[in-house]
Structure 1
Amino acid sequence: MIERYKPNTTVAWVVESPKGFLFVEENIRGNLQFNQPAGHIEAGETLIAAAKRELLEETSLDLDPHGVVGIYQFPNQDASVIYLRFCFYATVDEALPLTPIDPAIHACHWLTRAQLDQQSLRSQFVKTCTDDYLAGKRYPLELLHCQMP
């Protein structure tokens, strides 16, 4: 019998301000790495509810997504886990100072795309999602159909 495929479903954000894009600096096994605000969906959550919760926990920012940048399927570094990432986007009028609620988040940063190239990244998809957004890949939230009991 073939083992059932169960990717880890995650949500992420591209948030743009006049000062750049929002990234979190997180402690991953003792190393500080940059990522978009992102995380796993919890039982009973819709994709949008999970995205809003993760953004709030990691940055203290309470936003509704404006749309979807893309849906990404990729393995972790040793290919032992496969992720299915739903990336949302929003824009804000000013780059407010933010305070992480999640203790795993060391700090929040507003960075330009060029500044992102100088950072240690959690995965290549931090750049991929940002680049897709900059390339105009933006889809309406109606792309998603979420029905939870």
Structure 2
Amino acid sequence: MAMRWKPNVTVAAVIEKDGRFLLVEEETSNGLMLNTPAGHLDPGESPAEGCVRETLEETAHHFTPTALLGVYMARTRRAEDITYMRFAFTGTLGEFEAERPLDEGIVRTLWMTADEIRTSRARHRSPLLLKCIEDFLAGQRYPLDLIHLDESVAAPEEP
């Protein structure tokens, strides 16, 4: 039987403050790269919950999603041929936990303007980084309840 293709589901937070966007600089096999706080969706969590978790793990900031920015797909063929499906959210940045260590591989957080992000494309970890920023700047927003989460997602695993 042929293997069934499945995209990797990721979540991302697009956070703007005073004209700057919160990004992370992270170590990758291609060197230091930039991205919005983002990562893979874990079993049992909604995309919004995953985004809250990833933002905290990568930036030490609490985050409250207020809108879905969009659902995006991109394919990378670097070391492997992988398709990513990204749920991007925007929202409110909350408390900062100064003593909280950042995820492995995250070197630092930084705030960049849209123009700085545009001119750093060679360092974008994801081709979706700039698209998400541009959609944010264009005012694109969708209600969070656009994503339906069936109760089976969070149901405990059966023995």
TM-score (norm 1): 0.89
Counterpart of 2:62 in 1: which secondary structure?
coil
CA RMSD of aligned residues (A): 2.1
Q: Which runs of 4+ in 1 moved over 6 A?
A: 96-99
Distance 1:30 1:3 in 2: 28
Structure 1 residue 92: Cα displacement: 4.5
Structure 1 residue 45: Cα displacement: 1.5
How many aligned positions are there? 147
Distance 1:73 1:115 in 2: 23
Distance 2:37 2:149 in 1: 21
Contact map agreement 2:64 2:92 (CA 8 A) in 1: no
Distance 1:114 1:97 in 2: 29
Distance 2:97 2:18 in 1: 13
Contact map agreement 2:11 2:38 (CA 8 A) in 1: yes
**Does 1:125 find its partner at 2:120?**
no
Counterpart of 1:63 in 2: which secondary structure?
strand
Give unmatched runs, 5+ long, in structure 1.
none
Structure 1 residue 100: Cα displacement: 5.3
**Does 1:140 find its partner at 2:155?**
no
Give unmatched runs, 5+ long, in structure 2.
none
Q: Percent identity?
A: 37
Counterpart of 1:6 in 2: which secondary structure?
coil
